[in-house]
Structure 1
Amino acid sequence: MRISFLTLCTALIMGTAPVAQVTPPDASNTVLKGRAYSPYADRAYPEHVFFGDTHVHTGLSADAGGGGTRLMPRDAYRFARGEQVTSNTGQPVKLFRPFDFYMVTDHSDAMGAITDIISGAPNILADEQGLAMHNAFNAGGEEALRAMQQLIASFAQGTVSPALNYQPGNPAFATVWGEIIDAAEEFNNPGVFTTFIAFEWTSLVQGNNLHRNVILRDGPDVARKILPYTTTPPIGSSNPRDLYAWLQNFEDTTGGDALAIAHNGNLSNGWVFSLVDDFVDGKPPLDRAYAEARAKWEPLYEWSQIKGDGEAHPFLSTEDEFADFETWDFGNLDATVPKTPEMLPGEYARSGLLRGLALQAELGVNPYKFGASAATDTHTALSAVAEDNFFGKHTAYEPSAKRASHVGKSFSNGDVAYYGWGYNAAGLTAVWAQENTRTSIFDAMERREAYGTTGPRMTVRFFGGDYSKDAMTRRDLARIGYSGGVPMGGDLTVAAGEAPDFLVYSLRDPVGANLDRIQIVKGWIDADTGETKEKVYDVAWGGDRSAGKDGKLPPVGSTVDLSIPSWTNTIGASELGTVWTDPDFDPTELAFYYARVIEIPTPRWTAYDAVKYGVEMASDVTMTTQERAYTSPIWYTPNN
């Protein structure tokens, strides 16, 4: 299943597939017919892949600063562009490779208040809760940790003092927003390192995670015309409908452009991909207005991050042997309500995509037509996603001998929800764009020409359309993919009754592990029963393997040596690709397809900690991983 060196050249020289939506009407002429002698002239599609983090918190966020993070936006940007910095716990830290793009997304509610609480600003000390918090945080140790937990809980339950909850109208709130804008603009270096102005809208209803990162396409001139939206009434709201209204008003009044990315449905207890309006008494079914608004403002969803992988769950995808990956399913965000099986379909990307098809059949609009991204959600200002360079989520989980066994959160009855070892060293968003600028990268995200990885920088292309079986032998793979169909994030059109072809290709991270396999995941609505269904197909793989009688491909094996720890690239393949035709296609059925690329096993960050600190990990601690990438889906809608 290996493919030619010419294809490798294509990946390095040409980049990957474009999305049809960005191409001018005469693209076929400029790409295929009557083009200049130079095959590289007048290209009308994106050629480059860029990697970045869309979810970063600094000491300006209450839960980060309250936990000991002292690094600020400028520190985060310096680190992300490749400089060595000193971590919050005094350790030197540096990336192996800088990011291409980056954004700080500090919580909008109480933005910057934690720095005033710790420093003892007069307005804080004049408030009873503020004075108590100031004293506790400055006492350090366990008292400071309890103060942080109490502060987060009071935000979650709506009992925090208004003096601590900086909001629009408070001069300090506007000042902090201005500082965030200034930092992003100072470090924005188009073509080299692109920064975005952004924030996190942190809706947390009864502990259920409904957070969204709001990303602005424009620069400071537009960003200064508004203040970030919050969740605190009467100015803000926790209802996503109100966020969508704010986004519309932002664009109408400023002429700017924005989008939102939801994350951690696994901590929402079924609310992120709900089938009903959880904000209305009686929980009526979702309506078309909601579906249209969500489809417009949320083109991407965060499939993987530090607090668990969100692609699939083994309870829902029982035939998928790779579904149980970095699974967090203990309950909601603040561990006040344990998880039940009934909640799971409203929490994971694959089940969300399936629910989107069902809602499309009912409402005529798919509210869950989202592409794939991934990010860190770091609260240390350090996006260190490599397993051998992982600096945790909070300062308590920066490298130390105790971090793996640290109790992350407990239920009220004392049961442990999770330990520190459960955190996941993920992830990255990859976009296919024409250049490394705010405009080009934002537009790629908006049209869903993006994919998420759990950390490595593998190159992935995914097209759907009409392709010959020898396409993988061609040098001009991107042109073939584009001219024959649509790439990730697009809508598939096929000739009446004909099964679609999918062209998929991946090249390993140049400094990473070989690839185990490429899979295509299909979801659809059964024409006979009306039920949503899913299936995972192995379409390309490394090594001399073939499917067994059960249709399953044997494991690739493992070269991991936990005593070092290390691995060798003597199994798997450096690149994989194929043209696959859906053998079960029914032209009358709504469907989606996405590619999942899986690496060979490698040591997890817990394995590096065990060797570094001489720690014997508990028997249930995961020590190896199979990193992966998820592409944005391609959707098929019947003509009728």
Structure 2
Amino acid sequence: MAALVCATTAIPINAQDVGTLSPSPDTDYVPYLQHDYPDQVLFGDTHLHTAYSADAGLTGATTTPDDAYRFAKGQVVTSSNGIPARLQRPLDFLVVSDHAENLGLYVALDEVSSLLEGNDWAVGLRDIFAPRTKEAMDEAYVYWGSAFSSGPSGGDPLADSPLVQTMWNRITEAAEQHNEPGAFTALIGYEWTSGPDGNNLHRNLIFRDSKAEADQVVPFSAYDSDDPEDLWDWMEQYEATTGGRVLAIPHNGNLSNGLMFDDVTLTDKTPIDADYAKRRMRWEPLYEVTQIKGDGEAHPMLSPDDAFADYGTWDVGSFGPELKTPDMLPREYAREALKRGMAYEAELGANPFKFGMVGSTDSHTGLSTAQEDNFFGKAPMVEPTGDALRWEEEITGRLTPDDPADDQIHGIGLASGVAAVWARENTREAIWDSLNNKEVYATTGTRLRVRVFAGTVFGADDLTRSDFAAYGYDNGVPMGGDLTGFNEGDTPGMLIRALRDPDGANIDRVQVIKGWVDAAGETQERVYDVACSDGRSINDGACDGNVGNTVNVATATYTNAIGALFLETFWEDPDFDPALRAFYYVRVLEIPTPRWTTYDAAFFGIDPPDFVEPTHQERAYTSPIWYTPG
């Protein structure tokens, strides 16, 4: 050993003699330095309420924005009813979107805040609220709801109070504290709760910006106006004043009684024109297609040939007294609106309904729960319990108890949904830009990974490329994109990949939904099965047989003995006509799994409700890709 040491140390070594083993600092060795395309999918919720929403607080919510963000990050949070709660997997981003109307009212009442002093209406509410019993809370909710439901005509009963500005500053502060670029994104936002005559025209506003910009405004509310065009004016003024960016996401067309995608403007009742179409798509690039108050992708009356159209259907009434009629349905559902939008584009030169699709919860518990086996309900009164109240509590009928249209709209709902965003990084800017670019998709709560590219040069061999995404962006367009500039003989082809939720169910099938405007100017649609699990063939555009069902209803369990972990396909439109406008979006269906009501029945040892199916097939909807002739 000693000899060896002497031998080795006797040779002088100069580090400079080794030379450099790396290229020049000017060399771009890492191939990803210039890659700026989205390379990861992020899952989040763009629609969540806490006790700062008056309707949530006055019906029992005690959770704060701080609680909501901690829960979304995967921490244990105590629910409004005292139940410890935690997500199986954290979210990547969250928007706390509390209602602008009397923002923070319950919190001010709970704190006996001076913000409500000197206002006769607030004094009356405070006296009703003071006992803090369930009966007092119910009465306080109706007292507030009577003022809220009157909208702009009744005016804001707290117009002279600093309540909203003060509470808005708290909400933006919570977002700032919890925003962790690269790890978790807290986007600043709120809900504008327009409801003319009780018909739902709600929008969630999402800011690209930080607290510094957002605090320069007081949220525009339905007390200011219930007309979306006035909201767009306010958004335009916000951007001009602050240099920031903001977008709005409409939701729940199924509760709008035909107003969400109407043919006329709300206030003037004049036919929508090109200016309206351009402005709507400038400020509202997305639509919330699925959430607890029903799934809004399609309706069986509008799509009778679609075997999967009747999912989470809520199609009776709204928040007001007007009954639902069949003629309202075409102006309430996403697929029909997408078709009608192309017809408008042919007529006006602009498409008012050219939106991408996301899902979110609209939970009023402060807890973003979209998993069927971990569902905390729409509101505190329907948080987990063995009482049948869990699926019988009225959601929309509290202000109109004598309205038969509300009889269907109970807490049963869906556990839906989730917003999936393809982004380059987990930051406010990257997520907002992807939302604005429509490179997003909706799920009903599952975390399916879905990717789509469309173009004219793709083939089946491209599915297995090592540079799949880079090649897709370089040679086609992703979900939310536009196909234009076709040469004679070109046909659109789609590369589609779908990967199951790693903690969820296998995949049943992948479908392409096509809508188009025919030569006579009529809108058409067709659903194509393009990939089927379990070796099933495709005959005339449909999988040969159903996938089966492994659910044990009594134990609320299932197996992944059927279905596929992963499905991919290259699909070309067999009915393509280059002269006709068209859109394509992808729908991915999982195998049947238990509904949340089935999980609850098994957990609490009670009988499940007999007015809802015990199983369902969760799904994802991508944003469309549009083809325009010429």
TM-score by length of 2: 0.91
1:618 corresponds to which residue?
A: 609
Q: Which has the larger radius of gyration?
A: 2
Distance 1:572 1:81 in 2: 31
Distance 1:407 1:44, change over 3 A: closer
Task: Indicate which of 281, 287, 299 corresponds to 1:301.
Answer: 287
Distance 1:454 1:150 in 2: 34
Structure 1 residues 521-532: aligned runs within 5 Å:
521-527=513-519, 529-532=520-523
Distance 2:126 2:35 in 1: 58
Distance 1:550 1:432 in 2: 29
Corresponding letter in the other structure for 2:105 = A
Structure 1 residues 281-292: aligned runs within 5 Å:
283-292=269-278
After superposition, the C-alpha distances for 1:23-78 in whole angstroms (9 at most, x for unaligned) are xxxxxxxxxxxx97765453231111111110111101110011111111111111
2:391 corresponds to which residue?
A: 404
Structure 1 residues 372-383: aligned runs within 5 Å:
372-383=357-368
SS at match of 1:291: helix
Corresponding letter in the other structure for 2:245 = D
Corresponding letter in the other structure for 2:487 = A
* Pair 1:519 & 2:511 matched: yes
After superposition, the C-alpha distances for 1:53-110 in whole angstroms (9 at most, x for unaligned) are 1011110111001111111111111111111010000000000111111111111111
2:349 corresponds to which residue?
A: 364
1:437 corresponds to which residue?
A: 427
Distance 1:174 1:551 in 2: 55
2:190 corresponds to which residue?
A: 199
Corresponding letter in the other structure for 1:148 = Y
Of 404-413 and 170-179, the range deviating more from structure 2: 404-413
1:32 corresponds to which residue?
A: none
Of 150-159 and 617-626, the range deviating more from structure 2: 150-159
Q: Deviation at 1:422?
A: 2.6
1:500 corresponds to which residue?
A: 492
Distance 1:83 1:489, change over 3 A: same
Task: Indicate which of 122, 133, 140 corresponds to 1:140.
Answer: 133
Distance 1:550 1:484, change over 3 A: closer
Distance 2:29 2:416 in 1: 44
2:144 corresponds to which residue?
A: 151
Task: Indicate which of 522, 534, 538 corresponds to 2:525.
Answer: 534
* Pair 1:451 & 2:438 matched: no
Corresponding letter in the other structure for 1:214 = L
* Pair 1:463 & 2:450 matched: no
Which has the higher relative contact order, 1 or 2, with Cα contacts under 8 A spaced 6 or more apart? 1
Q: Deviation at 1:124?
A: 4.2
Distance 1:293 1:227 in 2: 22
SS at match of 1:430: strand
2:13 corresponds to which residue?
A: none
SS at match of 1:530: coil
Structure 1 residues 576-591: aligned runs within 5 Å:
576-591=567-582
* Pair 1:58 & 2:50 matched: yes
Corresponding letter in the other structure for 1:435 = E
Distance 1:38 1:158, change over 3 A: closer
Distance 2:603 2:338 in 1: 41
1:271 corresponds to which residue?
A: 259
1:261 corresponds to which residue?
A: 249
Kindly indicate whether the alpha-carbon contact (under 8 Å) linking 2:392 and 2:412 is maintained by their aligned counterparts in 1: no
Q: Deviation at 1:160?
A: 9.9
Structure 1 residues 314-353: aligned runs within 5 Å:
314-332=300-318, 334-353=319-338
Kindly indicate whether the alpha-carbon contact (under 8 Å) linking 1:515 and 1:542 is maintained by their aligned counterparts in 2: yes
Task: Indicate which of 477, 483, 488 corresponds to 1:486.
Answer: 477
Corresponding letter in the other structure for 1:110 = N
Distance 2:507 2:386 in 1: 31
Unaligned stretches of 5+ in structure 2?
A: 1-26
Kindly indicate whether the alpha-carbon contact (under 8 Å) linking 2:394 and 2:411 is maintained by their aligned counterparts in 1: no
Q: Deviation at 1:216?
A: 0.7
Distance 1:360 1:269 in 2: 24
Distance 2:167 2:626 in 1: 41
SS at match of 2:90: coil
Distance 1:171 1:414, change over 3 A: closer
Q: Deviation at 1:132?
A: 4.1
Distance 2:483 2:153 in 1: 49
Q: Deviation at 1:118?
A: 4.3
Distance 1:567 1:559, change over 3 A: same
Corresponding letter in the other structure for 1:375 = S
Q: Deviation at 1:127?
A: 4.8
Distance 1:285 1:629, change over 3 A: same
After superposition, the C-alpha distances for 1:175-219 in whole angstroms (9 at most, x for unaligned) are 111111111000010000111111111111111111111111011
RMSD: 2.0
1:47 corresponds to which residue?
A: 39
Kindly indicate whether the alpha-carbon contact (under 8 Å) linking 1:197 and 1:216 is maintained by their aligned counterparts in 2: yes
Task: Indicate which of 152, 174, 182 corresponds to 2:173.
Answer: 182
Distance 1:293 1:414, change over 3 A: closer
Distance 1:357 1:153, change over 3 A: farther
Task: Indicate which of 206, 229, 253 corresponds to 1:241.
Answer: 229
Q: Deviation at 1:247?
A: 0.9
Distance 1:352 1:513, change over 3 A: same
Kindly indicate whether the alpha-carbon contact (under 8 Å) linking 2:396 and 2:410 is maintained by their aligned counterparts in 1: no
Distance 2:287 2:578 in 1: 27
Distance 1:408 1:250, change over 3 A: closer
Distance 1:373 1:515 in 2: 20
Q: Deviation at 1:407?
A: 3.7
Kindly indicate whether the alpha-carbon contact (under 8 Å) linking 1:518 and 1:538 is maintained by their aligned counterparts in 2: yes
Distance 2:354 2:154 in 1: 39
SS at match of 2:266: coil
Distance 1:421 1:115, change over 3 A: closer
May I ask how many residue pairs the two structures share in their alignment? 596
Distance 1:207 1:231 in 2: 12
SS at match of 1:45: coil
After superposition, the C-alpha distances for 1:263-285 in whole angstroms (9 at most, x for unaligned) are 001110111111111311xx221
After superposition, the C-alpha distances for 1:533-591 in whole angstroms (9 at most, x for unaligned) are 11110001111223467956421111111122111111110000101000111111111
Kindly indicate whether the alpha-carbon contact (under 8 Å) linking 1:326 and 1:422 is maintained by their aligned counterparts in 2: no
Distance 1:299 1:372 in 2: 9
Kindly indicate whether the alpha-carbon contact (under 8 Å) linking 1:516 and 1:541 is maintained by their aligned counterparts in 2: yes
Distance 2:365 2:382 in 1: 9
1:15 corresponds to which residue?
A: none
Distance 2:95 2:272 in 1: 32
Of 360-369 and 398-407, the range deviating more from structure 2: 398-407
Kindly indicate whether the alpha-carbon contact (under 8 Å) linking 1:157 and 1:207 is maintained by their aligned counterparts in 2: no
* Pair 1:428 & 2:415 matched: no
Distance 1:147 1:135 in 2: 9
SS at match of 1:470: helix
* Pair 1:386 & 2:378 matched: no
Corresponding letter in the other structure for 1:330 = V
Kindly indicate whether the alpha-carbon contact (under 8 Å) linking 1:112 and 1:166 is maintained by their aligned counterparts in 2: no
Give the % identical residues. 48
Unaligned stretches of 5+ in structure 1?
A: 1-34
Corresponding letter in the other structure for 2:450 = V
Distance 2:584 2:445 in 1: 22
Distance 2:470 2:507 in 1: 24
Distance 2:369 2:377 in 1: 8
Corresponding letter in the other structure for 1:98 = P
Kindly indicate whether the alpha-carbon contact (under 8 Å) linking 1:397 and 1:420 is maintained by their aligned counterparts in 2: no
